[in-house]
Structure 1
């Protein structure tokens, strides 16, 4: 049997860790994979590539990478509400920076990312088409980027090593250089982005990811993960040239990027595709904070602090979005929800005999032809009969009359009313407005164009948000503010806060400066059985 070894990247809690060998490769391959074995078996590379794509759905859920990227920042909190939402304090630990290496969401993120590195390698090092291998190399680069960003080091296995050997670890600088070299080697081989479907690896996505890497290279190559950081002008010009190579444009309307039909937006550079009726965890984007009595109902968990909400001007279109159909279906605008919440009194269908009757959940699911008539709205209440009035005030442990209502809630994606449990919205992983803001930042950090280039970009994005040109100044502080408003809850806040030197600072519900160790997450305990890995400093 001929073997080629790859990165061991699956860690099952309490059972499988680095250094564990597998004696029956036909039964379970953990350290390597098999090609051309004696029985004539082959690896189904198409299936593993599909698995690598489906792994992107892990970014849609409310936990794992989303929690690590957003709840550790200045906007999102996961308060304990009486006996709900405690889970051994795992949610609260992120916002206040008290997590340890035993936090299950940190372990789950590590496992998810490296499982998909493993799936990609099964394609890259087996008999696959050139297209399959190129797509897998791009996906592996994307997963590795997130490992580098979150954990600061990455496991790898040299080709030809024995499967019983422990994988080696790249330093953050080494892993960054590897991912950049991979992307630069394949970008010309990747196809152009397919119209109305950004879920396939494409050249624009590779240029975007290269821009993201060069923008953060000063962070990833720093001697100390907490800074200080030096941003080289040559790297900033690489950011600019890669953004300029992207063939895209801003969507005329901000919220079209998050609608059930968002696959049609040219602004979306790369996405995780959902097919109607088989969507991933994207429903979490409207259920994670919404109350049980709202339409659609939610889990009444996560909230936004007032300090973050107050960054938005009242006229900013990115703060809230409404339409007759949104009010008709749900009673409230989407976006940030603050104040009294409402529910439709009744949405009606027109029957064949001309009479009207109330729509049922089955009617929505079965797409029964209907004409809606808004029967009026009603004030909603919580389960204790208190008005469902979401407050700006929230504490990490809530109780009393505002137990269920403390904290501003959010819906970044418009609910797919015909299929609330398995929506069609594609999940946005890369968006052109982010690329433009990266270019503006790079221009201000020493790249060509300077403040004039940055201001032109900021004006373009502000005008789309229904704000006057000049609303955001062409300064690094202005870029930081704009990124927080444009990209809220899209998975970039922690990354941005670290690069701008804001992540460890005090903020609402986190009154003290964090220990510098929190600039990186700890390597999960299971992975530490490998003697080649050293725990990140401070843990």
Structure 2
């Protein structure tokens, strides 16, 4: 399957005029003479498909003039890229990874859990999420039956296709609100019916949860069946993955047990025809869009969608300062000079004979010390080799900096582990024996069919699942959420290197389970209030 082509250069022009109700607090800049989502735009051939690609493009691209540009003012491109900001907040703030260059704005505070509301990475994530909402809202306003009729769109096949586009972007809007709900606990709410030029009201987690649930349940029957849409586009399985995620975390979000609903959604996704890729690492290669396991990804392409997104960061950052192993990963031999290293507590999850031949264990130790006493010393701490800018057959990506590797936001292995967690927590409808089967399928895949590392039902404990999720899904944007759900993120029951700014880790306060609303957003929208403790 081919990747869709993005046209983020089209996302310009009329924003400050037609979408100000959503974007005033984002400082979106319009620096291109083209006008996106306007009557003039829709006079162009294939305009509706281009408009759809523009909305998808906001998940990967940041501006109109290349990888170094950002249409969110005041921060650089990398700090405003959707997937990179998500990765910073969900992984860099946890026990899995450290960033060496702490002069990069915002990174030191994130990875030491000492952030404030002025952190630019929060502004980038919140701004990019709200920009996604704004784009979807305007696309929906411009594709109503009335608008289509006024433009002479009468072909039923064309109308049906545009309606498919409308359903897809509604899921993208729900995805953005899901991430905002998870990370910040609240957001300004706007939809296509909101008044223009008026700041959106604040929705808390309960309101956002209800909206996301209702929106997705209403749109699922009208989406394409799993694996029948173009790669990189939304289908029923993507919508069900978002539902499964909010149900899995419902106790955190709204104080309710919705695990039975999570099981239902997991079963639906599993029935969608996805299968585990026989080779674990082929989920993280330059041709991972071919993987039978991929449910939804954030796309990257070394030419067409150059960006400083999560996979470009991870692959270049994986290259060791000592090892100079970038060529093996399909980038420059020195990469980014040892930008990323592993915290000790993550490395220890792969200790023991069960993991000696585990394909998920791509940790490189060499002559390195496992401990990182000095974050700036790039020779300390082990490194990782999970992601690659080479294809499954070993061919290097077309660009040695900007990678071809997509970021796997949702894949089947996660569904198996969500189901297993629900079973371990006693959820109605979840079979413990089926859960063990799913976990062992992952372990056998990781061990090339060998069953020596398989588990029994009495080993399927919550502590096991939390560790297994890290072994299977590390660096994929899940860890912070998982630690919070298991009660291991704040407090001091589980510490990791540099947690709370202590070299061996110290307890952190409960309010850090939510990130603060960015200072700039509070100043721009009087309806927003700050989270407690900030």
- Superposition pairs of residues 464-503 of structure 1, within 5 angstroms: 464-466=445-447, 468-470=453-455, 473-503=459-489
Deviations 1:222-280 (A, max 9, x none): 3xxxxxxx524543443444444432111111111112222221100112233453344
Q: Which runs of 5+ in 2 are unaligned?
A: 1-16, 62-79, 145-161, 327-331, 391-395, 500-504
Deviations 1:66-101 (A, max 9, x none): 10110111111224xxxx53236x322223211000
2:522 equivalent to 1:528 = yes
Q: Distance in 1 between matches of 2:365 and 2:127?
A: 36
Deviations 1:100-142 (A, max 9, x none): 0011111111111111111111212222610110111111111
Calculate the aligned-residue CA RMSD, in Å.
3.3
Q: Distance in 2 between matches of 1:130 and 1:197?
A: 16
Q: Distance in 1 between matches of 2:472 and 2:287?
A: 20
Q: Distance in 2 between matches of 1:55 and 1:158?
A: 17
User: What is the match of residue 78 of structure 1?
Assistant: 99
Q: Distance in 1 between matches of 2:21 and 2:478?
A: 27
User: What is the match of residue 363 of structure 2?
Assistant: 336
**Cα 1:47–1:418 shift into 2, 3 Å:** closer
Is 1:5–1:160's contact at 8 Å kept on the other side of the alignment?
no
Q: Distance in 2 between matches of 1:246 and 1:152?
A: 31
Q: Distance in 1 between matches of 2:47 and 2:21?
A: 18
**Cα 1:492–1:7 shift into 2, 3 Å:** farther
SS in 1 for 2:22: coil
Q: Distance in 2 between matches of 1:266 and 1:40?
A: 38
**Cα 1:289–1:251 shift into 2, 3 Å:** closer
User: What is the match of residue 424 of structure 1?
Assistant: 404
- Mark the structure with the bigger radius of gyration: 1
Give the TM-score normalised by the residue count of structure 2. Answer: 0.75
SS in 2 for 1:111: helix
2:335 maps to which of 285, 290, 298:
298
- Superposition pairs of residues 181-220 of structure 1, within 5 angstroms: 181-194=214-227, 198-220=231-253
**Cα 1:6–1:469 shift into 2, 3 Å:** farther
Q: Report the CA distance between 1:291 and its aligned residue.
A: 3.7
User: Which has the larger share of helix?
Assistant: 2
User: What is the match of residue 317 of structure 1?
Assistant: 358
Q: Report the CA distance between 1:60 and its aligned residue.
A: 7.6
Is 1:92–1:396's contact at 8 Å kept on the other side of the alignment?
no
1:286 maps to which of 304, 308, 315:
315
Q: Report the CA distance between 1:40 and its aligned residue.
A: 9.4
2:88 maps to which of 34, 43, 67:
67
Is 1:211–1:243's contact at 8 Å kept on the other side of the alignment?
no
Is 1:217–1:235's contact at 8 Å kept on the other side of the alignment?
no
Q: Distance in 2 between matches of 1:532 and 1:231?
A: 30
SS in 1 for 2:477: coil
**Cα 1:210–1:148 shift into 2, 3 Å:** same
Q: Report the CA distance between 1:478 and its aligned residue.
A: 1.5
**Cα 1:462–1:291 shift into 2, 3 Å:** closer
Q: Report the CA distance between 1:488 and its aligned residue.
A: 0.5
**Cα 1:113–1:42 shift into 2, 3 Å:** farther
SS in 1 for 2:60: helix
- Is 103-112 or 274-283 further displaced after alignment? 274-283
Q: Which runs of 5+ in 1 are unaligned?
A: 17-21, 223-229, 321-334, 340-388
**Pairs aligned (count):** 446
**Cα 1:7–1:408 shift into 2, 3 Å:** farther
Q: Distance in 1 between matches of 2:475 and 2:295?
A: 17
SS in 1 for 2:296: strand
- Is 448-457 or 258-267 further displaced after alignment? 448-457
SS in 1 for 2:202: strand
Q: Distance in 2 between matches of 1:100 and 1:152?
A: 16
Q: Distance in 1 between matches of 2:475 and 2:302?
A: 23
2:369 equivalent to 1:391 = yes
Q: Distance in 2 between matches of 1:124 and 1:246?
A: 28
User: What is the match of residue 3 of structure 2?
Assistant: none
Is 2:185–2:514's contact at 8 Å kept on the other side of the alignment?
yes
Q: Report the CA distance between 1:294 and its aligned residue.
A: 3.6
Q: Distance in 1 between matches of 2:211 and 2:202?
A: 12
Give the TM-score normalised by the residue count of structure 1. Answer: 0.75
2:379 maps to which of 405, 415, 418:
405
